[in-house]
Amino acid sequence: MSTTHEFRLPDLGEGLTSADLVEWTVRVGDTVALNQVLAQVETAKALVELPSPYVGVVSELLVEPGTTVPVGTPIIRIEEPADSPSPSDSQSPSVLVGYGPAAERPSRRRRRIAPDSLSAPNIERRHATPSARRAAREAGIDLSEITGSGFDGAVTAADVADALAVKAPSDNATRLASSGIRKQMASAMVASVRAPQANVFLTVDVTPSMELLGRLRSSDAFTGLSLTPLTLAAKSMVTAIAAHPTVNAHWDETRGDAVVDDHVNLGIAVASEHGLSVPNIKSAETLSLVQLARAVTELTVAARAGVTDVHHLTGGTITITNVGIFGVDGGVPLLNPGEAVILCLGAVSERPWVIERKIEARSVATLTLTFDHRILDGEQAARFLSFVAQMLADPDLLLSHL
């Protein structure tokens, strides 16, 4: 005798009580395997794939694409044959993408569903993300007139923002569409300014670091990895935390004191068409330079594609951002809420530099440290920034800590 299972929308992360169903990747009558991706949902933080916890045949899709679904709501029914192995008997347990390893992660490639398998209204919804539909509805834009850049040609919120030329006749103001990720960014920045923030700056000769990068890029160990000044700055920052642990802390509002975190979950600020996100590398203090370079590469690629695992969007303890990739000499970043420090790396450029009373052309960069003044004072922040700068000026110091 077969068993019918209802799969409910799982908890997708801290503080997220609902998600928008973007698209189904299965249809009624399909046979699904354990951990096969059933659907893609959009939260305020990321696009998330939902793997199946059951083996069986899809008997009913309970939610239409475009619907906002509260956590715990049944979204699909799967008929499990009587002779089907239970999840506990399978070789790999069902794991929500972003919440721990599985023996084999399901393929990220999605099967395109034939148009005749869905009704016409559903097809129209599948070609635009929920945030895009909301933005278009607010602005009075016809989605059929917008070319989508998302998966399978879906219109994204960024596509709507690009197409927006609608101005209110009363005040000529232009309304910009905000995706869930951009709204989350806005909320985070409002929360950030509640902390008393201060800044210290230091300009440093990073010529030796640039020379080291040149040598490392030619080595087999770094083939295919993004090896940039950010990589060395991130490794220097993580290394410096061992001598200055207080920077890896957060403020406990309830008790009114600072709590030093026991692991360094290093946030990497990434700008993309989806908005600014800060995915973090878990336990970055345990990683070698090669491992850190690989983690930075993978997180950056995922964030720019808008498919960062939720696991990497929560629990960050300290952050680094790189405005140098835009040719900007420096900036004054705002703290990521709940963190004590954020380091900003400016552009590396050729500048005149005095060495032994002689002027030479050197590779120079400006570092800016923003810190929570409840947790750190100016001396602590300055000493930490100076430690990071010393390792970039003399990477032998950094290598000696590896």
Residue boundaries of the structural domains of the chain: 3-123, 127-178, 188-399
Low-confidence ranges of the chain (pLDDT < 70): 13-15, 44-45, 83-127, 130-131, 150-152, 158, 165-193, 274, 401-402
Q: Measured between alpha carbons, how far is 245 from 264 in angstroms, rounded to an integer?
A: 10
Active site residues: 373
Give the tens place of pLDDT for each residue, 329-388: 999 999 988 899 999 999 999 999 999 999 999 999 999 999 999 999 999 999 999 999
Give the tens place of pLDDT for each residue, 285-313: 999 999 999 999 999 998 888 788 878 88
pLDDT of residue 308: 81
Residue 22: helix, strand or coil by DSSP?
strand
Is it true that 3-123 and 127-178 share their CATH fold?
Answer: no
Contact call for residues 314 and 292 (beta carbons, < 8 A): no
pLDDT of residue 130: 67
Q: Which helix (H) or strand (E) holds 241?
A: helix 229-241
| Residues contacting residue 338 through CB under 8 Å, at least 6 positions apart | 250, 251, 316
DSSP string, 376-396: --HHHHHHHHHHHHHHHH-HH
Per DSSP, 167 falls in state B
- Strand partners of residue 77: 6, 60
pLDDT of residue 402: 65
Contact call for residues 25 and 10 (beta carbons, < 8 A): no
Contact call for residues 275 and 291 (beta carbons, < 8 A): no
pLDDT of residue 163: 77
Through-space distance between the first and last CA atoms of the chain, rounded to whole angstroms: 59
Q: What Å distances lie between residue 67 and 63, 77, 124, 179, 387, CA to CA?
A: 7, 17, 13, 15, 51
Fold of 188-399: Chloramphenicol Acetyltransferase (3.30.559)
Fold of 127-178: Dihydrolipoamide Transferase (4.10.320)
Q: Which helix (H) or strand (E) holds 4?
A: strand 3-8
Q: The CATH number of 3-123 is which of 1.10.10.60, 3.40.710.10, 2.40.50.100, 3.40.50.1370?
A: 2.40.50.100
Per DSSP, 173 falls in state P
Q: Is the entire prediction scored with pTM above 0.85?
A: no
DSSP string, 57-76: EEEEE-S-TT-EEETT-EEE
How many CB atoms lie under 10 A from the CB of residue 9? 20
pLDDT of residue 361: 96
